[in-house]
Amino acid sequence: MPLPIPGSQVRGSKSGKPIMALLDLLGRTWSLGVIWHLSQGPATFRQLQQRCEQISPSLLNTRLQELKILQLIETQSDGYALTDQGRSLFDIIAPLGQWSKDWAKHLPAGSES
């Protein structure tokens, strides 16, 4: 699947509505995870691998390139970091952290941590 660039055809929208491009992007494995972990601060490739337990290096690299082209992250001297745009996206989804804890309390195998 090609990059979900707003304006071009993406999953869920032939016209490439920006929101659909974004949902396509965020709907890929580890996209949200990478952004989430980078919000803790810049990280080198291998540091990110550790923050994201279980991610394979090939996929990590793929995601990093995608997010870089789409200008959510950039490379700095100290590794990968969120761009201003990336941070503004994170600011929106940050409340998911608390939400997920509340959610966990009401679920079948309801445990939390």
Of 39-47, 74-82, 95-103, the segment contacting a copy of itself by CB under 8 A is 95-103
- Between CA 17 and CA 22 the distance in angstroms is 9
Residue 81: name its binding partner from DNA, a copy of itself, none (Cβ under 5 to 8 Å by kind). none
Least distance between DNA and beta carbon 78 (Å): 9
Q: Smallest Cα–Cα separation from 37: which of 20, 58, 54, 22?
A: 54
How many residues of this chain bind DNA (CB under 7 A)?
21
11 binds DNA (CB under 7 A): yes
Comparison of 76 and 85: residue with beta carbon closer to a copy of itself: 85
